[in-house]
Structure 1
Amino acid sequence: MQATATVLVYSDDANIREQVKLATGRRPAADVPPVRFLECATLPAVLAALDAGGVDVCVLDGETAPIGGMGVCRQIKDEIFHCPPVLLLIGRPQDAWLATWSRAEAAVTLPVDPVEFADALAALLRARLAVEA
């Protein structure tokens, strides 16, 4: 198992970024490595971080303005070679079809439910780390 996993968190709302960090804790599950967070509040910061490499999972806030996480997800899936899996935070359960359109691997609703979020993040980390092994 690698030493740490890097999770990029994109939201213009510091409270959402904090909810994600609190829901994850040190690690989202016992069988995945501890998590290091890379917080981004703008699209240019997300793109720069992904270009630099080393991101294992992206958590994107679909409610971010002016560029929402769904649009960011679709863009990075088109532009980033070996794009990390994406966990999309959506405002309503009815928006799940938009998460599918954006090509996100998983979606959870806001506000962040710690158990649901940790389970979804751990599943994406397991899949990503299995591919890298």
Structure 2
Amino acid sequence: MPGVSSPTPSHTWTVLVFSHRPEVREAVVNAIGRRPAPDVGRVRFREVEGIAEVLAACDAGEVDLAILDGEAQPTGGLGLARQLKDEIADCPPIVVTVRRADDRWLATWSKAEAVLVHPLDPLTAAETVADVLRGITVPATR
């Protein structure tokens, strides 16, 4: 496809991390790390605690990937993921986090590309995020 290319190891991704709880955002950032895999480049995290910030950033195309806390209050990341997928034509890929492995099915309902279960395993978290990032095509002019 003209004008797009695969990500390179020198590419820097903007990853939005949403939760109303700072300790959850910190756990996500620490589990994934600044370089989830050598072939996908670096990650710059944008931590947010409000729904309005998530909606504005995703709608404006300011993030490459959104990681949403499924347990966030008052609005959880699962419902927010579905809203983003339904309302934003060029929605970034979404990873949702849940507290129970049995809640993985909710990720399918939310239309998220992937799910992570707390407590986060750093190897699984980094691998999951790297897999999602590998599936993104970036504009050649970026």
| Sequence identity percentage | 51
Separation in 1 of the partners of 2:11 and 2:53?
24
Opposite residue 103 of structure 1, the aligned amino acid is: K
The amino acid across from 1:53 in the alignment is G
1:128 alignment partner, one of 104, 115, 136:
136
Structure 1 Cα separation of the partners of residues 99 and 82 of structure 2: 17
Deviation (angstroms), 1:5: 0.3
Tell me the distance in 2 between the aligned counterparts of 1:3 and 1:122: 13
Question: Does the CA contact (< 8 Å) of 2:15 and 2:43 recur in 1?
Answer: yes
- Mapped to 2, the partners of 1:31 and 1:83 lie a distance apart of 23
Which of the residues 5, 8, 12 maps onto 2:20? 12
Which protein has the larger Cα radius of gyration, Structure 1 or Structure 2? 2
| CA displacement at 1:128 relative to structure 2 | 1.1
Alignment partner, residue 78 of structure 1: 86
Q: Displacement of 1:51 after TM fit?
A: 2.2
Q: Distance in 2 between matches of 1:31 and 1:47?
A: 29
Gapped regions of structure 2 (runs ≥ 5): 1-7
RMSD, aligned CA: 1.3
Moved over 3 A (4+): none
Task: Identify the residue that residue 44 of structure 1 maps to in structure 2.
Answer: 52
Q: Which runs of 5+ in 1 are unaligned?
A: none
Query: Greater share of helix residues, 1 or 2?
Result: 1
Deviation, 1:132, is 4.7
